[in-house]
Amino acid sequence: MFDASASRPRRRYRSLFLSDLHLGARGCRAAEILDFLAGVEADTIYLVGDILDVWHPGKVHWGAAQDAIWTDLGRRAANGTRVIYLPGNHDAPLREIDTGRFDQFELAESLTHTAADGTRYLVLHGDQVDARIFRFHVMTRIGSRLDAALRTLDHALRGLRPSAKRGIFEWAICGVNALMMVGNGFEKRLAAMAVASGHDGVICGHFHKAALRQSGPITYANCGDWVDSRTALVETFDGALQLVEWRAEAETGPARQGLMEEAEA
């Protein structure tokens, strides 16, 4: 049922950047992630933080799809794909591993990705530029509990009102994102970090807001997430970055189910 190696045409890229899968959390779209992986190949895969959600409270939501995602990524690593895991705030304990390896993956806090055209990108999760109070693990735990509670409530309300187009959690998360993005302070801080370290751009996750744009002197790219937006970032073989989005059958028609569409940057 959850076979990521299903035979269908795969789009090939030089690099694939995925962030905020939140495997183990209620909001994780595991089936969509698996379907996305079944349609893409890359020489290098960057897991840009919050791949595992180890701070998720209460019941861990893990099943066959989550197993298949982890197995698929491990199989790719074993078969020669370079897979690099850059922990975020929800999988922060992995930052304490000093061997440079986690399972079959390379492990790094941040690194430089050199694109095919020579452009140098700083790659990191992005929580490193949060205000000090938001970097405390207790804030991650509180956020996880609020997330789980709101999603549970939203799921219950949707059961009562199936025709509702937007759930209470979606309104709440939009409000939180708007609050976090006031003045795009985090983007400016990441841009400054990239410039200070001699990079031409920055690739991150964390903020659950997919983006690909020029931010001052550098390129700012955010992978998005697999809780709400279902987006990823890819690099083509000529060095260009693109945002891609997974869309469901109801949104694209039967002939386009599970395919990636270029997302609007």
Q: Which residue has the higher pLDDT, 255 or 168?
A: 168
pLDDT of residue 9: 82
Least confident of 33-47, 103-117, 179-193, 228-242: 179-193
pLDDT band at 233 (very low <50, low <70, confident <90, very high): very high
With a CB cutoff of 8 Å and minimum separation 6, the contacts of 85 are 47, 51, 94, 102, 105, 106, 107, 108
pLDDT of residue 130: 74
- Residue 256 above 50 pLDDT? no
Q: Which residue has the higher pLDDT, 185 or 46?
A: 46
Mean of all residue pLDDT scores within the chain: 81
**Residues 221, 212 contacting (CB under 8 angstroms):** yes
DSSP letters for 47-100: E-S-SB-TT--SS-B--HHHHHHHHHHHHHHHTT-EEEE---STTGGGGG--SS
Q: What are the backbone dihedrals phi and psi of residue 39, each rounded to the nearest 5 degrees, phi first?
A: -110, 15
Q: Which residue has the higher pLDDT, 34 or 138?
A: 34
Strands 40-47, 82-85: pairing is parallel
pLDDT of residue 27: 84
The CATH class of the 11-262 domain is: alpha beta
Q: Percent of the chain scored above 90 by pLDDT?
A: 57
Task: Tell me 9's DSSP state.
Answer: -
Alpha helices in the chain, H assignment, sequence order: 30-37, 64-78, 137-160, 168-180, 185-196, 249-252
Domains of the chain by residue range: 11-262
Q: What is the CA radius of gyration of the chain?
A: 18
With a CB cutoff of 8 Å and minimum separation 6, the contacts of 178 are none
- Residue 235 above 70 pLDDT? yes
Q: Which residue has the higher pLDDT, 148 or 136?
A: 148
pLDDT of residue 144: 47
Structure-token match 């020029």, residue found: 214
Least confident of 32-46, 50-64, 153-167: 153-167
- Residue 55 above 80 pLDDT? no
